[in-house]
Amino acid sequence: MEAFLNKISDSGLDASSVTGEEALVFWNHVREHVATTPQEKAQSHVISAEFRTSLGQHQDGIAELRAALNLLALPQDANLILEVKGYLADRLVDQGDFSSALLEYISSSSIAVENSHIDDYVKAVIGMGNLCDAYGDHARALRYYQKIDGIDHAINSRSLRLRYKLYKLACLIDLNRIKPAEGLVKECEELSILVSDKVLSGQVHLYQAKLLRKCGKLDEAMQCLGLVKYAAGNINSNWLSNMIRMELGYCLTEAGKTHLANWVLESVYLRVKSSGSPILNLRLVDALASICELQNNFKKALEYQHNAYRIESDLMKKVPITELGSSQLRRLSRFELQLKLILSEIENRELKETTESQKHTVAQLRQDVFSDPLTGLHNRRWLDVKLKDLLINETPFALMVVDIDHFKSINDELSHLVGDKAIVAVSSELANYFRFKGSSCVRFGGEEFLVILENADIDKATLLAENYRDNIYHYNWRDVLGERGLTVSIGITLHREGENTQRTFYRADKALYRAKANGRNQVCSE
């Protein structure tokens, strides 16, 4: 996409200067006179579709996305096809065309498996589970979300991993499976610390409140709802805002404050009616019916129940629930075996490539292509080669993930230049401390670092990590940060014989989640 935008800029056009109907004319001109490849023409259709959606031209937007797909071909355009199909499925769901959306999810899941795209496969399975949720079949929805459990460690996007866990958590709560829900909400809370998304973090608080209410802890539940923060104007924020108010209504009702609950839910009802979300509307009228019944206002309760029945009947007609039955789940079960085979094949291919390209790798090392330019530590390219070498030689190792605490606030308050100086100081201490044989330091990205300790047990790794953490805590930060200090959190795990490195990193990452969740400036092992 970046190359395409540069091409547009080189032709003398400014894509950022147009909005609304003018943007539709602009991108049509680009498609006809600037785009020269099917991929570029498809990308212009996708951008036009976004503008049409913002203008309320929903069917035209869907047509643009279908036109984009018609320009693309497998296998060379698999990435773009999956991206467009994801957009298309979302638009179809928004328009209530659930059958067409399901076809896109089914198609996407097959393409994703055929082309080894784990994250896109997960998105498709989540989409199918969401359709079951829309129908009200939470048990079936849970079976779809559970299909992801076996490849959880292979999901690249932390945000996507958190989304899938939240959908699964919502089903557990709806099914009153409190114990497993309590365990999962803690995991979501830990993961949300590393995901910079206020809506997802807000959902964690929402489900915590639901669990507290179901356990009779109404005051704690309402306090939990008060912790939610979200930005206005975002469609997901609007959904969260309505869900928070609805949960507050339930809490007030069970606390005996039915008049307040009625006022809160009525205000949400007016907002939801205008948004046209049938699923949210159904939940709301069910809640309002319960409130009215508690107030002995049976006439009003009956009106809400009739409204709920009408919405539910309409959803049942539109959601293709029979096509989401056992045959579809069996198809996904077959995919699970294929996905495991894909992960194994990727690992084997990487090992073979490493063996065949060792001489080339040495040449690249000499050219300094494996070093991070800011810190001088090894980079991710070097890390890939190192991990393959460890696997080939069956060398046991501990993996340590080091993350600077509250680094974003350093950048925001003191500037990115100061943030870079802090990264350099942390990496310098890391390199100085772990300079003995069998240790390797890597800048993994941003404020995150990895340390590999060959032939180390968990006790030795923990002791080394604790000493390094203490060094950073007592480091003279005045010259770099003024009056402000700096700390790091560290997660540690041991590589297990026979497992791939993705799973090893996933477990170290989980230990880091826990270190962050427990208050930061500490070491946790998984």
For helices 258-275 and 278-294, the axis angle rounded to 10 degrees is 160
Cβ 74 vs Cβ 51: under 8 Å:
no
Lowest-pLDDT range, 37-46, 354-363, 378-387?
354-363
DSSP one-letter string for 271-323: HHHHHT-HHHHHHHHHHHHHHHHHTT-HHHHHHHHHHHHHHHHHHHHHS-GGG
Q: How far apart are CA 469 and CA 63, in angstroms?
A: 55
Could you give the 3-state DSSP secondary structure of residue 448? strand
Q: What is the pLDDT of residue 233?
A: 54
| Burial letters 72-103, b for 16+ CB under 10 A, else e | beeeebbebbbbbbbbbbbbbbbebbbebbbb
> Averaging pLDDT over each range in 36-40, 239-243, 344-348, 369-373, which range is the top one?
36-40
pLDDT at 4 exceeding the cut of 70: yes
Order of strands, sheet of 448-454, starting from the edge strand that comes earlier in the sequence = 439-445, 448-454, 397-404, 488-494, 523-525
Q: Which residues contact 436 (CB under 8 A, 6 or more apart)?
A: none
Question: Given pLDDT bands bounded at 50, 70 and 90, which one contains residue 273?
Answer: low
Lowest-pLDDT range, 342-356, 387-401, 492-506?
342-356
Q: What is the pLDDT of residue 95?
A: 85
| Residues of the chain above pLDDT 90, percent | 59
- Contacts of residues 383-391 at CB distance under 8 Å and 24 or more positions apart, as own/partner, are 383/442, 383/444, 383/450, 384/350, 385/354, 385/361, 386/440, 386/452, 387/452, 387/501, 388/350, 388/351, 388/353, 388/354, 389/354, 390/452, 390/454, 390/495, 391/347, 391/351, 391/501
pLDDT at 510 exceeding the cut of 70: yes
| pLDDT tens sequence across 373-409 | 899 999 988 898 899 999 999 999 999 999 999 999 9
Q: What is the pLDDT of residue 359?
A: 63
| pLDDT tens sequence across 181-240 | 999 999 999 999 888 888 899 999 999 999 999 999 999 999 999 888 765 555 567 778
Q: What are phi and psi of 399, to 5 degrees?
A: -115, 130
Q: What is the pLDDT of residue 215?
A: 92
Cβ 288 vs Cβ 267: under 8 Å:
no
Distances (CA, A) of 251 to 199, 225, 270: 21, 10, 20
Helix (H), strand (E) at residue 25: helix 20-33
Helix (H), strand (E) at residue 361: helix 358-366
| pLDDT tens sequence across 92-131 | 988 889 999 999 999 999 999 999 899 999 999 999 999 9
Cβ 112 vs Cβ 96: under 8 Å:
no
Question: Given pLDDT bands bounded at 50, 70 and 90, which one contains residue 301?
Answer: confident
Cβ 388 vs Cβ 397: under 8 Å:
no
Q: What's the pTM value of the predicted model, to 2 decimals? A: 0.72
Dig out the tokens for 482 from the structure: 């003024």
Lowest-pLDDT range, 21-25, 214-218, 256-260, 425-429?
256-260
